[in-house]
Amino acid sequence: MAIIRQIAQLGHPVLRGVAGKVAHPSDPSIHALIEDMLVTMIDANGVGIAAPQVYEPLALFIVASRSNPRYPDAPQMEPTAMINPELLWASEEKEKGWEGCLSIPGLRGLVPRHRRIGVRYLTREGDIREEEYADFQARVFQHEFDHIQGLVFIDRVESTRELVTEKEYVRLASCGG
């Protein structure tokens, strides 16, 4: 049975280390971790979560774009666990967009990200998948991919003037700002 795990907060060293590869994707402990991450992400109204955020320094994350209170306009997609993910290519075109993070509650930032990307990952069954993502889903992948590289979104913000509190973000979003 899946459990809601504690989410590592900014300042904890697990968020700043490079995650190790998952040796055996079909291992039952990896499947249990994925289920725990999924319920933890849903409970926290996330659209993605990386294993380091639940104190597991592994190259594994879930991308699960969906409308929720934190991201009301997010497109719907089936939650996808990505094991040992790779970024194969990225468009030159970038776009700034607002990001938040379950490990940095109460803060949002304007983060430049590639608009389109090509990725490769292993499924929980150990199958290799290659996908292309664009816009919000590409943003979520890149955000989670950063987590397994020891980066967080505030590392990518170009200026501290592009950081706002969650309360101010809600105000800006409601007035189209």
Q: What is the pLDDT along the chain (177 residues), one digit of tens a residue?
A: 999 999 999 999 999 999 999 999 999 999 999 999 999 999 999 999 999 999 999 999 999 988 877 878 888 889 999 999 999 999 999 999 999 999 999 999 999 999 999 999 999 999 999 999 999 999 999 999 999 999 999 999 999 999 999 999 888 877 765
pLDDT of residue 66: 82
Catalytic residues: 144
pTM of the model: 0.95
Q: Which domains does the chain have, with CATH numbers?
A: 13-174 (3.90.45.10)
Q: How many whole angstroms separate alpha carbon 146 and alpha carbon 50?
A: 9
Q: How many whole angstroms separate alpha carbon 46 and alpha carbon 61?
A: 12
The answer to whether the annotation marks 143 as part of a ligand binding site is: yes
The answer to whether the annotation marks 24 as part of a ligand binding site is: no
Burial 20-46 (b: 16+ CB within 10 A, else e): eebeebeeeebeebbebbbebbbebeb
Q: Name 122's bridge partners.
A: 83, 128
The answer to whether the annotation marks 147 as part of a ligand binding site is: yes
pLDDT of residue 177: 59
